Amino acid sequence: MATISMWTRVALAVGVVVAAAGVASAEMTSGHQVGESVGAMTVTKVAGNPLDGIQDGQSLCYRCRMGARPVVMVFARTADQKLAKLLKKIEEEIEEHQDAKLTSFVNMLGTDPASLKKDAAEFVKANGLERIAFVVPDEPANGPSDYKIAPDADLTIVCFKGGKVKANHAVAKGQLSDDKIDAIVESACAMLE
């Protein structure tokens, strides 16, 4: 039986560690990808954006209502202060770019639609969000299957204009850093150029 030199074993061990690190740091994939078209989906508006002309409790295709506008569409499983920070920055961009008609809406995901609706309304009120609508999809666990929202993605952000995806960001639970927030806001602004 051939013996493996110490250096070969070290090289193999380093290779395994590097490969494992690469897998651990790989970007998560969730939602429509760049260049894909965003189709219709039925949601119920819960709270937020009183200027959109849609009453809370109304069922509709919110994505369809946005038409060709630049949209930051968020799918969120956790409504925490990091999400609030992201949304406040997006609201600042919506305010600044009113002429470009930038808009955004958040799809709350989970297994209990009644709780999602209640929690979303409380989150909007507690964080003073005024320009972003919160909705609950008819398929609340992961959204419509053709939207391809990964079950392990805590946040999926799809930036699209004219129905075509311009940027996509997927974030695991607890991984929404300030740098990631800045990258998402930058993607939203890039649609306006």
pTM here is 0.85
Q: What is the pLDDT of residue 4?
A: 53
Residue 11, pLDDT above cutoff 60:
no
Query: Which comes out higher in pLDDT, residue 150 or 51?
Result: 150
Residue 24, pLDDT above cutoff 70:
no
Does 93 fall in a domain? yes
Does 142 fall in a domain? yes
Does 35 fall in a domain? yes
Q: What percent of the chain has pLDDT over 70?
A: 86
Does 71 fall in a domain? yes
Number of Cβ within a 10 Å radius of residue 156 = 27
Q: What percent of the chain has pLDDT over 90?
A: 81
If we measure between CA atoms, which residue out of 80, 75, 42, 38 comes closest to residue 150?
75
Query: Which comes out higher in pLDDT, residue 26 or 136?
Result: 136
Q: What is the pLDDT of residue 20?
A: 36
- pLDDT tens digits for 126-152? 999 999 999 999 999 999 999 999 999
Residue 42 corresponds to which amino acid?
T
Residue 12, pLDDT above cutoff 70:
no
Long-range contacts, stretch 128-131, CB < 8 angstroms, 24+ apart: 129/48, 129/84, 129/87, 129/88, 129/91, 130/48, 130/49, 130/50, 130/91, 131/48, 131/49, 131/51, 131/91, 131/94, 131/95, 131/103, 131/104
- pLDDT tens digits for 57-91? 999 999 999 999 999 999 999 999 999 999 999 99
Mean pLDDT rounded to a whole number for the chain: 88
21 — pLDDT class (breaks 50, 70, 90): very low
Does 5 fall in a domain? no
Q: What is the pLDDT of residue 193?
A: 79
Does 8 fall in a domain? no
- pLDDT tens digits for 92-110? 999 999 999 999 999 999 9
Domain that holds residue 160: 28-190
Tell me, what CATH number does 55's domain have? 3.40.30.10
Q: What is the pLDDT of residue 192?
A: 86
Number of domains in the chain: 1
Does 136 fall in a domain? yes
